[in-house]
């Protein structure tokens, strides 16, 4: 008995021991512990298996490793702190302990690799929905797959896949939500570029509940995508977008483009109307919103 109590205490539960009365649970930690995540989770596949750690270099790396050993679809890899996380284009993405929610989902979508971008867009839609309904914060989507609030980054998404030329082997979608960071938790150079749900809503977010809602939302959208295709995902993505129908500057590897972000196509490419009236199709790049 005592050993179990010790284990629970190590995991952050606060338990009082009273002579003759026994033990009393007086505090549940704000931890993303598997038992907490499973409690009340309504999904069938996403997050039914959980790989939890207090600290990891990158939840995507763990998920890829688990995939290579045969882990099943829906595996959730979650960590309280991510020390070597990456964003797109090899950028760093650090998540301080107990403040962010950073997790990866393992999927085996039976499709051509060219459809992978649809799934990052689907992830953006599910995260934005979950955030809006759980916290009331109006997260919007910036092409291709960041979530912003008032122009500041609140979530990042990074999908990585292993594939043959004509079919995906496995796909890992890593998602990082800035949940309970305070100003000082962001590196100085990001303080005016990033924000957190706590900063935006004025109160701490129950991380377990938001993670559950994200998993539920993802599973719902993934089902829609599998059964009906990409159309309704794309329609919702467009509604939630904050980088369409506005002037933007896009930085690609070798140049910058100024233009009007007109729409995205079914491969997730951005169609940019250039000043000369022509339409430029961009499959990747970094958007800055421009002031006109």
Q: Footprint of a copy of itself on this chain (CB under 8 A)?
A: 88, 112-114, 116-117, 120, 144, 158-167, 169, 268, 283-284
CB of 211 to a copy of itself, least distance (A): 23
CB of 208 to a copy of itself, least distance (A): 29
**Interstrand relation of 167-177 and 286-289 (parallel, antiparallel or unpaired):** unpaired
Peptide bond into 144 cis (omega under 30): yes
Measured from the CB atom, the residue of 136 and 169 that comes closer to a copy of itself is 169
Measured from the CB atom, the residue of 169 and 223 that comes closer to a copy of itself is 169
Measured from the CB atom, the residue of 59 and 117 that comes closer to a copy of itself is 117
CB of 267 to a copy of itself, least distance (A): 8
Tokens representing 164 are 């043959």
Measured from the CB atom, the residue of 133 and 162 that comes closer to a copy of itself is 162
Measured from the CB atom, the residue of 67 and 101 that comes closer to a copy of itself is 67
CB of 218 to a copy of itself, least distance (A): 16
CB of 253 to a copy of itself, least distance (A): 8
Measured from the CB atom, the residue of 117 and 196 that comes closer to a copy of itself is 117
CB of 173 to a copy of itself, least distance (A): 10
How far is the C-alpha of 114 from the C-alpha of 167, rounded, in Å?
Answer: 9
């Amino acid at each position: 008995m005592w050993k179990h109590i010790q284990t629970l205490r190590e995991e952050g539960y606060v338990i009082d021991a009273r002579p003759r009365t026994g033990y009393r649970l007086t505090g549940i930690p704000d931890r993303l512990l598997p038992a907490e995540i499973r409690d009340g989770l309504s999904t069938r596949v996403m997050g039914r298996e959980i790989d939890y750690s207090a600290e990891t270099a990158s939840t995507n790396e763990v998920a890829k490793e688990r995939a290579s050993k045969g882990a099943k679809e829906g595996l959730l890899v979650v960590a309280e702190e991510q020390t070597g996380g990456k964003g797109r284009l090899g950028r760093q993405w650090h998540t301080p302990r107990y403040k962010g929610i950073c997790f990866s989902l393992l999927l085996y979508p039976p499709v051509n690799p060219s459809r992978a971008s649809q799934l990052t867009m689907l992830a953006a839609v599910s995260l934005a929905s979950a955030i809006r309904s759980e916290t009331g914060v109006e997260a919007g989507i910036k092409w291709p797959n960041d979530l912003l609030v008032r122009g500041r980054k609140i979530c990042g998404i990074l999908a990585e896949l292993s594939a043959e030329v004509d079919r995906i082997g496995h796909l890992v979608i890593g998602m990082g939500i800035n949940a309970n960071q305070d100003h000082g938790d962001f590196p100085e150079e990001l303080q005016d570029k990033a924000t957190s749900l706590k900063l935006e809503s004025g109160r701490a977010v129950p991380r377990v509940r938001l993670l559950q809602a994200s998993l539920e939302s993802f599973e719902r959208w993934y089902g829609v995508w599998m059964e009906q295709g990409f159309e309704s995902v794309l329609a919702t993505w467009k509604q939630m977008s904050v980088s369409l129908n506005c002037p933007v500057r896009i930085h690609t590897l070798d140049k910058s483009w100024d233009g009007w972000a007109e729409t995205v196509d079914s491969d997730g490419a951005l169609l940019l109307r250039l000043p000369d009236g022509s339409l430029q199709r961009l499959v990747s790049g970094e958007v800055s919103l421009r002031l006109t």
